[in-house]
Every structure is written in C-alpha cells, then in structure tokens.
Amino acid sequence: MDHRIALGRAGEDRAADWYVARGYRILERNWRSKVGELDLICARGDVVVFCEVKTRRSDRLGGPAEAVTRSKQRRLRRLAAEYLRSSTWVCGPRDVRFDIVAILGGELSVMEAAF
C-alpha cells in the first residue's frame, strides 16, 4: 500500500477514535459520490458533522489545515448536501457542522465549525 494512503487511513482512524471518545457515532467513513469524498460523517444528538481529515508528517509543504482551501470547502458543502438528500438516517432538520482534523507529526488538532 502506498505510504500516503496508509498515512491518510491512520489519520482517519485517529480522528474517528477522537469523535467516538466524545460520544459521537460514526455514520460513514470515506463516503463517495461522483463529486468527491467525505472522510468522516459523525453525529451526536441533532448535530451532523462532516469532517475533513488532513494528515502530514511535517509542515514542509504547509500545515494540514491549509490544504482545505475555499474550493475544497465548496466541494465539501456540495457533498454534504448530496449526502443529506440521499441519507435514510437523516430525517428532518438537523444542525450541520464542518470540522477539520489536522494531524501534524502525530499531533491531532480538531477545528470544530472550521467553515
């Protein structure tokens, strides 16, 4: 397996563990459509969280959160709307939040309501 894929998967595992430890339920991992992919979709109470996970070994190419550009945020919003329309779990109005989990050199940082 490509080391980048393994690094990304390990980061997503850590992020999922972080959410579960705080009482969230993982609804989906790596949910895909033709528009793209959502890394994690979690829920707690009436809040559905769409989480983008970025893992880097170093900040040589910039910090992980910097990779979530405005165009990436627009794509994530479109994906979230598509997920909400297609999901049988989500019925009725829900609060929606977009988080970024940045993992740099093994240190995890969660930015709730990042955009």
Is the CB of residue 101 less than 8 Å from the CB of residue 15?
A: yes
Report the pLDDT value the prediction gives residue 1, as an integer from 0 to 100: 58
Q: Where are the domains of the chain?
A: 3-111
Does the domain at 3-111 match CATH 2.40.160.40? Answer given as no
Average pLDDT over residues 50-71: 90
pLDDT in tens, 64-111: 998 899 999 999 999 999 999 888 765 666 799 999 999 998 899 999
Residue type, 80: A
Burial letters 43-70, b for 16+ CB under 10 A, else e? beeeebbbbbbbbbeeeeeeebbeebee
As a whole-number percent, the residues of the chain with pLDDT over 70 amount to: 95
Token reading at 112 = 């709730």
Pick from 111, 114, 51, 115: nearest CA to 83: 51
